[in-house]
Structure 1
Amino acid sequence: MKTIEGLYLITDHNRDGQLKARVKAALKGGARIVQYRDKTRPAMEQVADAAELRELCHKHGALFLVNDDADLAKACDADGVHLGQEDGTIAEARKCLGHGRIIGISTRTAEEAIKAEMQGADYVAIGSIFPTGSKQDAVVVGLESLAKVRRAVTIPVVAIGGIDANGADAALNAGANAVAVISAIMEDDSPEIAAREIALLFNRRKPYPRGRVLTVAGSDSGGGAGIQADIKTITLLGGYASSAITALTAQNTQGVSAIHPVPAEFVGEQIRAVLTDIGTDTLKTGMLHCAEIVALVASAIRRHSLMAVVDPVMIAKGGASLLQPEAVEILKIELLPETYLLTPNLPEAAALADMPVENEGDMERAARKLREMGARNVLIKGGHLPGEAVDLLLTGKGLHRLPADRVDSRNTHGTGCTFSAAIAALLAGGLPLTTAVEQAKRFVSEAITTAPNLGSGHGPLNHWQGAKAIS
């Protein structure tokens, strides 16, 4: 019998006939259990829907459960049933389904959970952990009750109720084996990305290296930025790095002296080679150089529904252009709508949003405009402003202000590459977005502070010490 662990999706009503499509997207995003729930449709239609969803789940290696009704679970050959406290006993469900099926039950207290385990439940659900609009009579029990239940029983524990990515993070920290989600996935414009965002949180429980990151960027012969900085960062943060190189550069701390582009077709071959074998949890972009490469990267992200951290590298610190002018429009039209997190500095934000960005108010307005243009989340880096180093992160949940003391140093080569690579690695390793950004910012600040002072121009960072600061 497969265990209950990972992202646990509970379906909502068959809105606009999109139930199967949304469940399929969530499965592609990483859902490991699907619970079919429908309180309104006729019994025969429920059997037909459930049978289709069961086949879909099994195709993706996921478990399929039915809500409340053991008879329906038997009729559609489900993997099991989830019972409420008023939906019959565990013994009755076992008699109906036999000993090869999974039976879970909702609980609110450790005492109810202990009783359920003694009666033969395969798992217990505890909730509502947070306030929820999907169940009108839900009683909020909170994370403390979840932790008590985890300590009280040996069977898997599912956290349920009002859970989104941040709530899932808290539930996992409290000991949940699985997190049950409804609206945060089923009502999202991109259920696959919403599912992936939560499913990746479970990577924190894997052995190192945990989380795969594919970086698509240029090579820096000086080792301070580009592919070299990305691979150092990802590896030091415990992830597995793969790469697709878009251009070779001859550069050092004084600047870029030559650029040798890689043909777009070969960049595509590198990406395909990685994705069709090793795969990746997140994709990070840096120097994409030309419109053809921007377009093919956007296509790969769209085709594989990847969580992409896009660092829109346009100009090197020494002033060399790293993105052809015609590629900027393709980035806006094709890549932005596929972007999970966009990480421009002030000049890049100004160019993409087509507006001046000269203070924090401008940063917020630009971030909102870039979200409207398609980026799911936007992090605008305020390193070019005087005073403290303030970054602004805009998500669907609101605006986060991330201040830090400014480090007066010439050794800032590769800060943008390193920052975005750190975020991608931390996301792939199981952190939620806001936490990943906060920790990546600490990484970069420490890496600048302890930089080895190499070369006579803009020196590289100390990636080793940056990683130690957040380990």
Structure 2
Amino acid sequence: MLKLVVDHSAKQNQISGLYLITDQGERLLERVREALSCGVSVLQYRDKVREYRERLMIGAELKAICARFKVCFIVNDDLELAHALDADGVHLGQDDGDPAQARAALGPGKIIGVSTHSLEEALTAQEAGADYVGYGAIYPTASKEVPAVRGPEGIALLKRELSIPVVAIGGINRDNAGAVIDQGADAVAVISAILSNRTPGIAATEMALLFNRRAPYPRGSVLTVAGSDSGGGAGIQGDLKTITLLGSYAASAIAALTAQNSRGVSSVEPVSAKFLAEQLDAVLSDLPVDVVKIGMLFAPENAEVLADQLLAHRIRISVLDPVMSAKGGASLLADEALAVLKRRLIPLCYLITPNIPEAERLTGLPIVDGAGMELAARTLHLMGARNVLVKGGHQNEGEVTDLLFDGVSFTRFSAPRTLTRHTHGTGCALASAIASYLAQGEPLPVAVERAKQFITRAIKFSHPMGRGHGPVNHYLAAKDPSEA
């Protein structure tokens, strides 16, 4: 007896990562184009409002955008439209057709997906020849009514029983998608979390990075652009230690050389803008950099070059630690460079992490309390930074509270203060830790929280090395707290 065996392997490889479903909003093509350039793997064209002729025209343009960015193009619930567009496949609801009929209509090389709400429905879809199933709603959603919320745990159950990919659907956003991915979802489907965002490209990049949480170590990659610290506690040296010890891959571009030790900086030699550009282009044109961490730049020409390179290489996630002075008071940022920082780099930054003196210099506002920190954060956001973390280490309270502002709400991160003068490299280490955790697939609030824990331990276990301000302890801070 002959048995028909369907080989799903090549098709399964296409259904993974970030799965974007279109909405009915204005400027759809523009928003989709931006999102697809930033990590989307699959696009599903869902349109239950427009007439067929208009859907055909829009679908053709969406297919062309998908082809440009090598994104799988799926049509929702419309076999006629999927056939006319020669789409990569079709996605069917429970009441919108049979996978076998869809295969017969579209041909054996096309992808067939089915929406399911239970293990039984998923097994039935697989048996009928579906190449993947959508499963949900995982979380409450405003886009459609659902009979029940399944939660991330349902994904693990399906993954144990199915041999085809599972796409998690419903209410998924940047801050809750990690739990879904951890349960084994091959892809996460989103609509408003990306397409309703004011910057769909950054929103897509944020969510695409979450899949790094399943990558082997070193997990994610970080490029640090900063000055060299001959004493080894901060700058490029401190960044490379932090990124590597926390488990990411570290690359570097040096913006300046310093002669310094625990007592201070005695000399600074800026790298030429031409050579910095060559370093940046060499790394960014070859290595898959997930996050760029920016520290000391010193010269205005180097700030300009960096802004140019971030734009040229379409870097969406960058963490700017606006280093302005050394512990001993030496200036590490020329006035002209500060102007470039404000005019060009801050608007390009995903996150800026000033301490209180830096925030005061950037905004021109005095900061004496929490309300002052909030006002400075709002001001920096208006200057173009997508997210702002104002660090509270220069206040005198027994707890050190850092304030994160995302343009809508504030989140506070507090830890006990350690009374020590050995805090050299704290700003560099914190920003590098945040960059590392972002590269490893943590959403921003979690990345900041974990980095805060890291730097608190680094200060607690700091070394009294040298005769001045000793460095923080990157090694013990990166170890499990129970081992430190």
Aligned residue for 1:166, secondary structure, equals coil
Letter in structure 1 aligned against 2:315: S
Residue identity opposite 1:413 in structure 2? H
Q: Give yes or no for the alignment of 1:209 onto 2:209.
A: no
- List runs of 5+ in structure 2 lacking aligned partners: 1-9
Q: What is aligned with 2:142? A: 133
SS of residue in 2 equivalent to 1:313: coil
Aligned partner of residue 48 in structure 1, secondary structure: helix
Q: Does 2:33 match 1:24?
A: yes
Stretch deviating more after TM superposition (298-307 or 83-92): 298-307
Counterpart AA for 1:294: A
**Equivalent position SS for 1:250:** strand
Is 1:305 the equivalent of 2:315?
A: yes
Q: Note if 1:355 corresponds to 2:329.
A: no
Please give the residue correspondences for 1:313-352 in structure 2 after superposition, counting only pairs within 5 Å.
313-352=323-362
- Note the alpha carbon deviations across 1:250-301, whole angstroms, 9 max, x for none: 0000000000011122211211111111141111100011222222222322
CA contact (8 A) 2:400 2:416 kept: yes
- Deviation, 1:176, is 1.3
- Aligned-partner SS, 1:244: strand
- In the other structure, the counterpart of 1:245 is 254
Q: Choose which of 226, 243, 247 in structure 2 pairs with 1:234.
A: 243
TM-score (norm 1): 0.96
Alignment of 1:45-444 (within 5 A): 45-136=54-145, 139-303=148-312, 304-386=314-396, 387-396=398-407, 398-444=409-455
Residues in 2 aligned to 1:138 and 1:194: alpha-carbon distance in whole angstroms = 28
Residue in structure 1 matched with residue 5 of structure 2 by the alignment? none
* CA–CA distance in structure 2, aligned partners of residues 226 and 364 of structure 1: 28
RMSD: 1.7
Q: Which amino acid aligns with 2:102?
A: A
Measured after TM superposition, the shift of residue 385 of structure 1 is 1.0
Structure 1 stretches lacking a partner, 5+ long: none
Where in structure 1 do 4 or more consecutive aligned residues deviate above 4 Å? 136-139
1 CA distance for matches of 2:480 and 2:449? Answer: 12
- Displacement of 1:53 after TM fit? 2.0
Q: 2: CA distance between counterparts of 1:23 and 1:135?
A: 21
Please say if residues 137 and 146 of structure 2, whose CA atoms lie closer than 8 Å, have aligned partners that are also in contact.
Answer: no
Separation (CA, whole Å) in 1 of partners of 2:186 and 2:222? 25
Q: Which amino acid aligns with 1:454?
A: M
* Per-residue Cα deviation, 1:87-115 (whole angstroms, up to 9, x for no partner): 11112111111221111111112221122
Identity %: 55
**What is the rounded CA distance, in whole Å, between the counterparts of 1:257 and 1:138 in structure 2?**
68
Contact 1:294 1:327 in 2 (8 A): yes
Question: Deviations 1:40-89 (Å, cap 9, x if unpaired)?
Answer: 22223322322332232233222111111122112111111111112111
How far 1:376 sits from its partner (Å)?
A: 0.7
Distance 2:129 2:172 in 1: 27
Paired amino acid for 2:138: I
Which residue does the alignment assign to 2:6? none
Q: Distance in 2 between matches of 1:415 and 1:250?
A: 19
Over residues 394-437 of structure 1, what are the superposed CA-to-partner deviations in whole Å (9 max), with x where a residue is unaligned? Answer: 12462111110111122110000010011111111111111111
- Report the Cα distance in structure 2 between the residues aligned to 1:320 and 1:424, rounded to whole angstroms: 26
Q: For 2:399, give the aligned amino acid.
A: E
Q: Which moved more, 1:392-401 or 1:189-198?
A: 392-401
SS in 2 for 1:131: coil
How many Å apart are 1:138 and its aligned residue? 7.0
Equivalent pair of 1:132/1:138 in contact (CA under 8 Å):
no
Provide the rounded CA distance (Å) in 2 between the counterparts of 1:383 and 1:238: 26
* Distance in 1 between residues matched to 2:84 and 2:471, nearest whole Å: 64
**Cα shift at 1:139:** 4.7
Q: Return 461-470 or 157-166, whichever deviates more.
A: 461-470
Letter of the structure 2 residue corresponding to residue 187 of structure 1: S
The answer on whether the counterparts of 1:446 and 1:469 sit within 8 Å (CA) in structure 2 is no
- How many residues get paired? 469
